Structure formats: structure tokens, C-alpha cells
Amino acid sequence: MSERLTSRAYEITVDDGRDSFFALSIEGDHEAEWLASDTVCALENMR
């Protein structure tokens, strides 16, 4: 049986707005993983 995955993309701003980066949360039935990058897109937006 395959696990259902959901994702959310976030833009995180630091240093009083002087810098920002993107983070992607990928959540399954039992755990969640995070990916931080300069460019991130939610899985739902890639279809």
C-alpha cells in the first residue's frame, strides 16, 4: 500500500527582512521531512 504525501511551500524571511529562503515540508502518514533551498515549489503546483 502506498503512503499519501502532502506538501507545503514556505518563504522564510530572516534578518529583519534582509534575507529569505524557501522551505518545503513533505508530510506522510507517519513523519514529516523538510527541505530548505533557494527555490522550492509545492508538489501540488508541479502537476
Cα–Cα nearest to 38, from 22, 18, 15? 22
CB-based burial, 16-46: b 16+ in 10 Å, e otherwise:
eeeeeeeebeeeeeeeeeeeeeeebeeeeee
The CA distance from 27 to 22, in Å, is: 16
pLDDT value, residue 14? 85
Angle at CA of residue 23, ends 8 and 2, nearest 5°: 45
Domain locations along the chain: 6-40
Q: Which residue has the higher pLDDT, 32 or 1?
A: 32
3-42: pLDDT as tens digits: 788 888 888 888 898 888 888 888 887 777 777 766 656 6
